[in-house]
Amino acid sequence: MASSSLEWKIRTLPDSPGCYLMKSEGQVIYVGKAKNLKNRVRQYFHSSASHTPKVRAMVEKVDDFDIVLVDGELEALILECNLIKKHKPHYNILLKDDKHYPFIKIDLSEPFPAIRLTREEHKDGAKYFGPYIGAAAVREVLDTVRNVFPVRHCIKPLKEGMHERPCLHAQTGECSAPCAGRVSKEEYAGYVQQVIRFLSGHPEQVLSELKQRMEKAAQGMNYERAAVYRDRIRAVNDIMQRQKALTPGGDDMDVIAFLPCLDDALVQVMLLRAGKLISSEFYTLEGAALEEGSETLVRFMTQYYSLANPPAREICVNADIPDREVLEELLSETALRRVHVVTPRRGDKAALVRMAEKNLEDEKGKIENQREKKLARTLGALNELAWELGLEKAPRRIEGYDISNTQGAQSVASEVVMIDGECAHSQYRHYRIKTVEGTNDFASMQEVISRRFARGLKEYEDRMSRGLDPKEGSFSDLPDLLLIDGGRGQLNSALAAMRDAGVSVPAFGLAERVDEIVLPDQEDTILLDRHSPALHLIERLRDEAHRFAITNHRKLRSARSIASRLEQIPGIGPKRRKAIFARFKTVEALSGATWQEIAACDGLGEEFAKRVYGFLHPDDQNQQ
């Protein structure tokens, strides 16, 4: 039910185009545009029967909204795009990949133009080719160009009349060495024009010219030079095979297709330049599966294209765009030239769209297959484990415990957590054993389980009394199942601790020798099949508990070693040691600190700080 202030804002909405910002507790959770704000915004707060689950979930959280009036649909589309990029609302379709795509730049104003990678396109008179998907694609093209044409590899400023020592590329014939005065400005410009024709998608002219030069060199019995041209012809033919023409007309074109996949939407972008496919990339739009295809494509294109990544003159999509003219006007302003958006039904362009859709179907199949494997690895494994242990239902939260000690000194325990079959690293805990002396894993396990449930039950009661969800507390989210790393002795100790705490949580032990499952009050153990998902799950949890305990134990030993070493420094007593470790929580932090940072510890000062630094870094003279 909308509040009175919200109802008043809904009644007073204007019949104007603009954007609306849905809010929850002051945060913008959704941004939309409308030709008529009154009609569009009111729809959200009317009967929810026609709403998608995503829209219903969003509306339930809305407690306020703002509107921004504009003059027309184009301004609304531009503003919506900018607001989404600014606020990144939870319920909007967000394009996560916001990188600038690389180009190849040739600055013809230079006497000997370099061919370089750049991520920005400017109106500065230079030639730009791209955009390419990823710097690796650009470097591959640059390597091909430099292998075929003797243009320089460096980007340092050059001018006519220079006579520097040529680099290794000149000695191997890969560069015409303008820096050494070995090529005239006019001859080098000819090489650059060949590169431009090649990058523009017209390698046939380049091939013809290279063949003529090879034949001329061969006729003049300059066979070494002819072999150079022969190798360049092979390189051009190789790149032509990899850039097979997809459209006979040789046009520049972007192909964008959309396909729902589970809760998300997949989008494929194919970039064709001079009729050749230069890149193909998949994107995932989170939570967009229930959106209209046309809406998804519009949101994607307004976020994907920019001045640094302009669209081609024609964009082929696989869904009709209702406000096509508005979108074309926006994209034309981005590209600084006319852009057309089409939905081809037949012919070569339709075949390209179908190719993109086919690739999306293949990608969707892979994702769904991975999802099935993940479910088998997690929820499927939990169901199997519940059946093997005789539980009524699959456990949501499993906690695993392990004790680590070295000859009875500095015993520690680890608590690791799985929620719905996935490791919940933020829930992991360390325990330093306080009441047990010497090597006694049974007593140590009993102490740890006692402390865990004592704190968990206290926090549980406190949160329940305040109406808070116990699952969101630090310790009040109580386990559905315990895994005790060890045999029957450790398991019985854990069970005794739970009885003393007044709780009854299913638990089992995992004997390390052959991964036997040890159950309470049962002589026989359970041996799961080696390929069992349930066995793999509990092995992962046991290994995590072991790793986490060992890692913490090593840190404690290292800290104790450092502390004992600090005792050897004259003037560094218990009070100063305590001040040092109060400021530097870890050994790594102390070892990486400068003496000036150590001097900031309470009561230490410059003299003692230099002593500490010098003791930790005996070969370093920076403390002087």
Domain end residue (candidates: 357, 374, 391): 374
**496 to each of 226, 443, 489, 493, 512, how far by Cα in Å?**
88, 10, 11, 5, 22
pLDDT for residue 534 is more than 80: yes
**Distance (Å, rounded) from C-alpha 361 to C-alpha 350?**
16
Question: Residue 571: pLDDT band by 50, 70, 90 thresholds?
Answer: low
The answer as to whether 500 is a domain residue is yes
Reported as a single tens digit per residue, the pLDDT across 198-225 is: 777 667 767 787 788 889 989 998 888 8
Q: What is the mean pLDDT of the chain?
A: 82
Structurally, the chain folds into a number of domains equal to 5
The pLDDT of residue 606: 79
List the domain range (segments joined by +) for residue 228: 104-242
The answer as to whether 99 is a domain residue is no
Q: Before 520, cis peptide (omega within 30)?
A: no
The pLDDT of residue 328: 93
pLDDT for residue 560 is more than 90: no
Report the CATH number that the domain containing residue 429 is assigned in CATH: 3.30.420.340
Same domain, 158 and 216: yes
Least confident residue range of 459-473, 517-531, 577-591? 577-591
Beta-bridge partners for 256: 269, 317
Reported as a single tens digit per residue, the pLDDT across 454-511 is: 999 999 999 999 988 988 888 999 999 999 988 888 999 999 999 999 999 999 988 8
Least confident residue range of 68-82, 98-112, 123-137, 409-423? 123-137
The answer as to whether 156 is a domain residue is yes
Token pair in block for residue 268: 């494929």
The pLDDT of residue 54: 80
User: DSSP secondary structure string, 47-58?
Assistant: -STTS-HHHHHH
Question: Residue 244: pLDDT band by 50, 70, 90 thresholds?
Answer: very low
The pLDDT of residue 278: 67
pTM of the complete model beyond 0.85: no
The pLDDT of residue 290: 77
Same domain, 522 and 597: no
Whether the Cβ atoms of residue 334 and residue 306 lie closer than 8 Å to each other:
yes
pLDDT for residue 243 is more than 70: no
Least confident residue range of 31-45, 165-179, 495-509? 165-179
User: DSSP secondary structure string, 308-357?
Assistant: SS---SEEEESS--TTHHHHHHHHHHHHTS--EEE---SHHHHHHHHHHH
Pairing of strands 18-24, 64-69: antiparallel
Reported as a single tens digit per residue, the pLDDT across 357-409 is: 888 888 888 888 888 888 888 888 999 999 989 899 999 999 999 888 755 55
The answer as to whether 25 is a domain residue is yes
Report the CATH number that the domain containing residue 360 is assigned in CATH: 3.30.420.10
Pairing of strands 507-511, 481-485: parallel
Q: pLDDT higher for 135 or 321?
A: 321
The answer as to whether 555 is a domain residue is no
Whether the Cβ atoms of residue 330 and residue 74 lie closer than 8 Å to each other:
yes
Whether the Cβ atoms of residue 138 and residue 117 lie closer than 8 Å to each other:
yes
Domain end residue (candidates: 351, 374, 397): 374
Reported as a single tens digit per residue, the pLDDT across 116-137 is: 888 777 778 888 876 565 566 5
Same domain, 300 and 356: yes
Highest-pLDDT range among 255-264, 505-514, 597-606, 610-619:
255-264
The answer as to whether 96 is a domain residue is no
The answer as to whether 549 is a domain residue is no
Longest dimension (CA), the chain: 100
Question: Residue 331: pLDDT band by 50, 70, 90 thresholds?
Answer: very high
pLDDT for residue 513 is more than 70: no
Same domain, 414 and 534: yes
Give me the residue label for tokens 């000819």.
190
The pLDDT of residue 623: 46
The pLDDT of residue 115: 87
Whether the Cβ atoms of residue 252 and residue 272 lie closer than 8 Å to each other:
yes
The pLDDT of residue 552: 67
The pLDDT of residue 419: 93
Same domain, 237 and 276: no
The pLDDT of residue 585: 59
Reported as a single tens digit per residue, the pLDDT across 130-171 is: 656 556 656 766 776 777 788 888 888 887 778 888 888 887
Least confident residue range of 451-455, 474-478, 573-577? 573-577
**Distance (Å, rounded) from C-alpha 45 to C-alpha 41?**
7
The answer as to whether 97 is a domain residue is no
Beta-bridge partners for 273: 276
Sequence-distant (6+) residues with CB within 8 A of 112 are 152, 158, 178, 185, 188
Same domain, 531 and 391: yes
Same domain, 306 and 231: no
Sequence-distant (6+) residues with CB within 8 A of 298 are 77, 321, 323, 327
Hey, CA dihedral for 401, 404, 410, 414, is it positive or negative? negative
Pairing of strands 314-317, 422-423: unpaired
Domain end residue (candidates: 217, 242, 267): 242
Same domain, 392 and 504: yes
Same domain, 335 and 403: no
Q: Where are the alpha helices (DSSP H) in 149-252?
A: 168-171, 185-199, 203-219, 223-242
Percentage of the chain exceeding pLDDT 70: 84
Whether the Cβ atoms of residue 150 and residue 229 lie closer than 8 Å to each other:
no
Same domain, 114 and 216: yes
Same domain, 402 and 524: yes
Same domain, 482 and 519: yes
